[in-house]
């Protein structure tokens, strides 16, 4: 009898792999790449740390995390989901445009079964992901741990983060 073909899940091989993602953007569209990659890494058994800094800090701030926005202003790549229709940059800043664009993007994301940002972070933590707030961002925003999601493990300095993620692969978003 032949040896059965069994997938190699490399459980041991992945045990040493670490991924660190620095989330520095607070726009709704730029919140997702880090979350999607973190979720994928965790699903592959990779130890994953997310460091929220500058505008990315909004993703973990209780007061702001439900209210991230998407704007076509300054985004020359933005076009309608189907076809290549673009919003002319001169019209991008008109009142109401940001609200419409945000609503549309949220719907598209929801249609794909992808959760909203706070929900997504819940899932990442449930999958074993680690969330860290940036000390300087906290100080600039005059926020403390009490203002952040309860599952943020700490507000740490840039050097703490670098030290903690020794040997990790690193993504800056």
Partner 1 sequence: MPVTTLAGREVHVDDEGFMTDPTEWDRELAVVLAEAIGIQLTAEHWKVIEFLRADFETQGETATSRRVQTVGGFPVKDQFELFPKKPAKKMAYIAGLPKPRGCV
**101 within 8 A of 122, measured Cβ to Cβ:** no
Only one residue has tokens 């860290």, namely 132
CB of 16 vs partner 1, minimal distance in Å: 13
Q: Closest CB to partner 1 among 35 and 156?
A: 35
Q: Closest CB to partner 1 among 23 and 92?
A: 23
Give the whole-angstrom CA distance, residue 34 versus residue 172: 9
Q: Closest CB to partner 1 among 70 and 120?
A: 120
CB of 169 vs partner 1, minimal distance in Å: 17
Give the whole-angstrom CA distance, residue 10 versus residue 162: 27
CB of 115 vs partner 1, minimal distance in Å: 7
Q: Closest CB to partner 1 among 84 and 150?
A: 150
160's enclosing H/E stretch is helix 158-164
CB of 138 vs partner 1, minimal distance in Å: 28
**26 within 8 A of 68, measured Cβ to Cβ:** yes
Binding site for partner 1 (CB under 8 A): 1-2, 4-9, 11, 14, 36, 39-40, 43-45, 112-115, 120, 123, 126-128
CA 65 → CA 11, 31, 94, distances in Å? 34, 10, 24
């Amino acid at each position: 009898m032949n040896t059965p073909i069994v997938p190699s899940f490399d459980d041991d091989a992945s045990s040493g792999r670490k991924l660190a993602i620095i989330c520095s953007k607070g726009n709704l569209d730029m919140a997702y790449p880090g979350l999607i990659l973190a979720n994928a890494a965790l699903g592959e058994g990779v130890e994953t740390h997310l460091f929220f800094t500058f505008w990315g800090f909004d993703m973990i701030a209780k007061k702001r995390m439900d209210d991230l926005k998407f704007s076509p202003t300054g985004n020359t790549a933005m076009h309608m989901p189907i076809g290549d229709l673009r919003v002319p940059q001169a019209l991008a800043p008109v009142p109401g445009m940001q609200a419409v664009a945000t609503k549309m993007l949220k719907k598209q994301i929801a249609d794909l079964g992808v959760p909203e940002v706070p929900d997504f972070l819940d899932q990442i933590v449930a999958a074993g992901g680690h969330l860290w707030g940036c000390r300087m961002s906290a100080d600039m925003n005059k926020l403390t741990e009490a203002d952040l999601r309860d599952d943020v493990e700490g507000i740490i300095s840039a050097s703490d983060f670098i030290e903690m993620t020794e040997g990790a692969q690193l993504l800056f978003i």
